[in-house]
Amino acid sequence: MEMRVKTNKLTMVQAVTDGLRTMLQKKEEVVLLGEDIGSNGGVFRATEGLMEEFGEERVMDTPLSEAGLMGTAIGMAINGMIPVAEIQFLGFIYPAYEQIATHATRIRMRTMGKYTVPMVIRAPYGAGIRAPEIHSDSAEALFTHMPGMKVVCPSTPYDAKGLLIASIEDPDPVLFLEPLRLYRAGKEEVPEGEYRVEIGKAARRREGSDVTLIAWGAMAAQASKAAEKLEQTGVSCEVIDLRTLYPLDKETIAESVQKTGRAVIVQEAHATGGLANDVMGVINDTSFLYLRAPITRVSGFDVPVPFFSLEEHYLPDTERIIQAVEKVIHY
């Protein structure tokens, strides 16, 4: 007999709330902490109502100190708790970087496996909502360069809840990046209760035969839009949504590029030192002899994310992606 799963139509931020509630109900070790996440419900209301439902001992407001917040979460994690720490915007995480780089990612190795750090760092990130300076950074590459911590980035409400549950259950620290632009961009049917989306596994959003578009976060949606437009011109695009930025799903990347023979990588971050460079390395290592054109990147420019009047110019859009695809198709 077929089992029907109850679902609700949720935005991404609602799916995040649902995932947090699910894990607070399941495990009493799970605690949430961050600035204004309690009675205020967080900047984007991702924790709205959870303090009233689970109490101040499990949903905690912290002082305005990212380093203190991260150090507290690390201490909780190595003493048996499962903290989920919210950084209000990824651009605010820099004061906490030392705690993450020198402690959270290294304690398992430093103690020869005696202690692990089962914690999640939630961080809204990226541009597209016309936020002020430092609120729109895409600094994911700072953390994918850091062995000892996984980096996850959903692009749909379904994946947001499933990946968040998998992240909270992971024995090691996970940086959970939430694309600001997608928080309320649309709704999707999301199952009630528990389910998991595997960390380390990319999603094939669209089948295609001429070129592979590889993206993540808000850029995965842009890549899909570009693929729809290109289909009308006879170009068949396969769209790969990485979902996990570290470790990369090298197998899916290679399988797709070896099929299409062309690759365009789309990232919101600056070009220099970005994750796209690592994806290019994966393609070079696994699929070089299958390529019919050089790999191409579409990215933000090598400047701080500009103020809102220039924000759209900074961000990769469908037209820039289409131009890159045409470049590799006609190489």
State the catalytic residues. 135
- Are residues 124 and 180 in contact, defined by beta-carbon separation less than 8 angstroms? yes
Residue partners of 145: CB distance under 8 A and separation at least 6: none
Beta bridge partners of 239: 206, 213
Query: CA–CA separation, 330 vs 185, rounded Å?
Result: 34
Residue type, 285: D
Q: Which residue has the tokens 């935005």?
A: 11
- Give SS3 for 8: strand
- Are residues 267 and 215 in contact, defined by beta-carbon separation less than 8 angstroms? yes
Query: CA–CA separation, 144 vs 186, rounded Å?
Result: 28
Query: CA–CA separation, 295 vs 311, rounded Å?
Result: 26
Residue type, 26: K
Torsion of CA 90, 94, 95, 97, to 10 degrees: 100
Q: Listing from the earlier edge strand, what are the strands of the sheet with 237-241?
A: 203-206, 237-241, 211-215, 263-270, 296-300
3-class secondary structure for 31-68? EEEECCCCCCCCCCCCCCCHHHHHCCCCEEECCCCHHH
